[in-house]
Amino acid sequence: MADHAPFPLKKKASMVYLVGAGPGDPGLLTMRAARAISMADVLLYDHLIPLELLDMAPDEAKRIDVGKVRNHPRMSQKEIGETLVKHARQGLSVVRLKGGDPFVFGRGGEEAQVLAEAGIPFIVIPGVTSPVAVPAYSGIPVTHRDHSSRLIILTAHDDPTDWKQPDIDALARPHQTVVVLMGALYMKELVARLLNAGLDPKTPTAIIRWGTTPNQESYYQTLEEIPAFLKEHGIAPPAILTIGGVVSLRKDVSWSHRLPLLGKRILLTRERSRSKELSETLEALGATVITFPTIHVSPSFSEKSMHTIEHLKDFAWIVFLSPNGVQYFLEGLGKSNKDLRSLAGLRIFSMGPATSTALNEAGLRPDLAPAESHGEGVIDAFRNLPEPHSGKVLLVRGDRGTGAIPRGLEELGYGVETISVYENTLPDVPSYRMERLRTILDEGAIDLAIFYSPSAIRGFISLFPDHAEAISRIPSLAIGPTTREELLRSAIQTLVMAKNPTTPSVVETAVDFLSQFGNNAKELSRPPGNSGRVHPGGA
């Protein structure tokens, strides 16, 4: 027989999910947690839960920042419980997204009690917990047959000088691992009591701040050395203290230093659908990637463009400059009740590998596809053709194109007609994303921004007009000379250009650049006096 009766459903209720988001690295989210977030009608989240996790919720989902940053609460615990109940009784799917694991010093048990008392059904989805994950990211296994047969996890919210001696004695035993959460405030007092209780002064320790995030910092010393370290350097929250022989294993077990981009935060400014390969490759090398499109691309067909599409037989060449051009030209072709047969007899030019891929996926093979992916490369490719430079060229592009390519082709002797099949506008960015990126810009926490077009640069600056100085300090990577020129015009102080716009080239350039700059890349973008980012609470 069950220990508990079924939830007595009161009024209209759906389901509340108490979800652990993990300790900071968005890649540590569980599959079940991701599914719950993807179905949420309402998302209540701790402040600074990774942006990538907030993006998993449907666009129409209501997102509520409940705070949970030390000394800066946005909602009281009582208000959080009431908000969960209120939305659940409206028949909504509610996700309470908490840092770490909801039942490990995360007050998830209290929230579960509130829901149970209100007759609201709920499901608990555990998260990867920080006392295990954070040491692991520094190469420290919290248990090991040769060093530790016990694992003790505690929180040091209260002054250890008030703790009972038997409790201290239990922490001072040999052959165990002690992980102290939220321990920055009373670390000195705890260490003093452990030493007085007889714990070996030479016991290895690790102080880890902002664990599993790009700002992770790890400090290693023996137990007796901690007071001097604190006196010289201090330690601010959030910090986890790990005590025990397992800390010495980091020299053999450490893995993070093998990832060239670990601890680097990289901003991608193009559409998520076009950033997947690059994003996954950068993340595999240890980077934290923020995908933040700074332009919105949508089809746009003028009467002139449609007339031109209906008379393709007038042209010898059709030039595609981007995958967007391919996509929306074919859409316009469909609007004219035509298909690929209308391109019979035309020679096709493709600028860049991504454009060629888009053509191939549509069943088209370019006749000319030079390696260069910029305007000068287009002109050079036509200049080097052995045939006479004559005939009419149709140039397909968006509404932000310059006159450089048409002028260059006309100077070679071609007749040129240009049509725009899409327009670039500023995206409609949800407020939670704007707020988060403003915070990141204020903190100077972007190591590298990657731009694929001049319009992406202009869009970024237009979205954040009050952060022009901060943006100018962000080290930036351009995928070609045209984009590089726009970065220079925008007064970006530090920039680099990829050899070509392919994913391998962009990744290689990013790794080389950040390796050369090391930690200085972040210092370039960080305003004076910035002390770093606050890590989300919870364990």
Please identify every residue annotated as catalytic.
46, 68
**116 burial type by CB count under 10 A (0-12 exposed, 13-18 middle, 19+ buried):** middle
Cα dist from 169 to 165, 174, 243, 247, 298, whole Å: 6, 10, 14, 21, 67
Query: How far is Cα 151 from Cα 245, in angstroms, rounded to an integer?
Result: 12
| DSSP class of 93 | E
Query: How far is Cα 165 from Cα 157, in angstroms, rounded to an integer?
Result: 17
Q: Can you tell me whether residue 195 is helix, strand or coil?
A: helix
Query: How far is Cα 120 from Cα 9, in angstroms, rounded to an integer?
Result: 6
Query: How far is Cα 90 from Cα 13, in angstroms, rounded to an integer?
Result: 6
**119 burial type by CB count under 10 A (0-12 exposed, 13-18 middle, 19+ buried):** middle
**The pair of three-digit structure tokens given for residue 122, joined into one six-digit string:** 């709920």
**What are the strands, taking DSSP E only, across 223-326?**
239-243, 265-268, 288-291, 296-299, 317-320
Q: Can you tell me whether residue 378 is helix, strand or coil?
A: helix
Q: What are phi and psi of 134, to 5 degrees?
A: -65, -50
Query: How far is Cα 238 from Cα 99, in angstroms, rounded to an integer?
Result: 13
What counts of helices (H) and strands (E) characterise the chain?
Answer: 21, 20
For the chain, the straight-line distance linking the first and the last C-alpha, in angstroms and rounded, comes to 34
Q: What is the crossing angle of helices 108-117 and 77-88, to 10°?
A: 50
**The pair of three-digit structure tokens given for residue 522, joined into one six-digit string:** 């972040």
Q: Which of 159, 154, 219, 201 is nearest to 180 (CA)?
A: 154
Query: How far is Cα 514 from Cα 476, in angstroms, rounded to an integer?
Result: 11
Query: How far is Cα 451 from Cα 460, in angstroms, rounded to an integer?
Result: 10
Within 10 angstroms of residue 512's Cβ, the number of other Cβ atoms is 12
Q: What are phi and psi of 522, to 5 degrees?
A: -70, -35
- Give 155's strand partners: 181
Query: How far is Cα 537 from Cα 539, in angstroms, rounded to an integer?
Result: 7
Query: How far is Cα 182 from Cα 157, in angstroms, rounded to an integer?
Result: 6
DSSP, residue by residue, 69-91: -TT--SS-HHHHHHHHHHHHTTT
Helical spans, DSSP H, in 163-271: 165-171, 187-196, 226-233, 250-253
By the 8 A CB rule, do 247 and 223 touch?
A: no
**The pair of three-digit structure tokens given for residue 440, joined into one six-digit string:** 């990141």
